Amino acid sequence: MNDIWSRLASGETGLFFASELTANPPYFCRMASQDPIGVFDSGYGGLTVLKEIIGKLPQYDFIYLGDNARSPYGNRSFDTVYHYTLQCVQWFFEQGCSLVILACNTASAKALRTIQQNDLPKLSPGKRVLGVIRPTAEIIGTFSETKNVGILATNGTVVSESYPMEIAKFFPDLNVYQEACPMWVPLVENNEHHTHGADFFVKKNLHNIFVKGENIDVLLLACTHYPLLREKIEEYMPVGVKLISQGEIVAESLANYLLRHPEMEQRCSKNGQRVFYTTDSTEDFDSHATIFYGEPISSKHVDLGV
Segment 212-232, tens digit of pLDDT: 999 999 999 999 999 999 999
CB neighbour class for 78 (10 Å; exposed up to 12, middle 13-18, buried from 19): middle
pLDDT tens for each residue of 116-148 = 999 999 999 999 999 999 999 999 999 999 999
DSSP designation for 195: S
Instruction: Kindly state the percentage of the chain with pLDDT values over 90.
Output: 81
* pLDDT for res 117: 96
Q: How far is residue 208's CA from residue 216's CA, in Å, rounded to a whole number?
A: 12
Q: What amino acid is encoded at 175 in this protein?
A: N
Beta bridge partners, 101, equal: 39, 130
Lowest mean pLDDT, pick from 3-7, 92-96, 100-104, 247-251:
3-7
**Domain coordinates in residue numbering, the chain:** 4-132+248-301, 134-245
Q: How far is residue 210's CA from residue 187's CA, in Å, rounded to a whole number?
A: 22
- As a CATH number, domain 4-132+248-301 is 3.40.50.1860
* pLDDT for res 24: 38
Instruction: Kindly state the percentage of the chain with pLDDT values over 70.
Output: 89
* pLDDT for res 34: 81
Q: What amino acid is encoded at 38 in this protein?
A: G
* pLDDT for res 300: 97
Give catalytic status of residue 268 as yes or no: no
Q: How far is residue 188's CA from residue 27's CA, in Å, rounded to a whole number?
A: 31
Q: What amino acid is encoded at 288 in this protein?
A: H
Phi, psi of 229 (to 5 degrees): -100, 10
Q: How far is residue 105's CA from residue 272's CA, in Å, rounded to a whole number?
A: 26
pLDDT tens for each residue of 36-57 = 999 999 999 999 999 999 999 9
Confidence of residue 306 (pLDDT cuts 50, 70, 90): low
Q: How far is residue 47's CA from residue 224's CA, in Å, rounded to a whole number?
A: 8
Q: Is the bond preceding residue 125 a cis peptide, omega within 30 degrees?
A: no
Phi, psi of 4 (to 5 degrees): -60, -30
Of 94, 93, 233, 91, nearest to 150 by C-alpha is: 233
Choice among 88, 97, 104, 181 that is catalytic: 104
Beta bridge partners, 61, equal: none
- CB neighbourhood size of 283 (10 A): 11
Give catalytic status of residue 97 as yes or no: no
Q: How far is residue 111's CA from residue 185's CA, in Å, rounded to a whole number?
A: 20
Sign of CA dihedral 275, 279, 284, 288: negative
Equal CATH topology for 4-132+248-301 and 134-245 = yes
- Mean pLDDT confidence for 9-28: 42
Beta bridge partners, 88, equal: none
Distances (CA, A) of 148 to 145, 217, 249, 301: 8, 6, 19, 43
Choice among 29, 97, 181, 223 that is catalytic: 223
Q: Is the pLDDT of residue 7 over 70?
A: no
CATH of the structural domain 134-245, one choice from 3.30.70.270, 3.30.70.100, 1.20.1730.10, 3.40.50.1860: 3.40.50.1860
pLDDT tens for each residue of 147-167 = 999 999 999 899 999 999 999
pLDDT tens for each residue of 267-276 = 999 999 999 9
Q: Is the pLDDT of residue 237 over 80?
A: yes
* pLDDT for res 74: 82
* pLDDT for res 265: 97
Phi, psi of 2 (to 5 degrees): -115, 5
